Amino acid sequence: MKNKEKNAFFIAEGLSNYKNIWNENYWNRPRFLPKLIFGRIGIYYLAPWINVDWHPAQEPYDI
């Protein structure tokens, strides 16, 4: 059975709302390279855009 969990994505309207800050998130497995987060921006959300988590967490947080 495949893992059906979805990772984060974003939709931003206008150019002032497109820059999310992603830092030290855990992404289903340890990552040694930055994690790309895909989304869309613009008035009608037509333009694809990428944000980056430059420092992904190596293990899940214990909350």
How long is the chain? 63
Q: State the pTM of this model.
A: 0.70
- Residue by residue, DSSP assigns 11-59 as EE-SGGG----B-S---SS--SSPEEEEEEESTTS-EEEEEEESS--SS
Per-residue pLDDT tens for 4-63? 667 787 887 766 556 678 889 888 888 889 999 888 887 777 888 888 999 999 999 888
Domain boundaries, the chain: 10-53
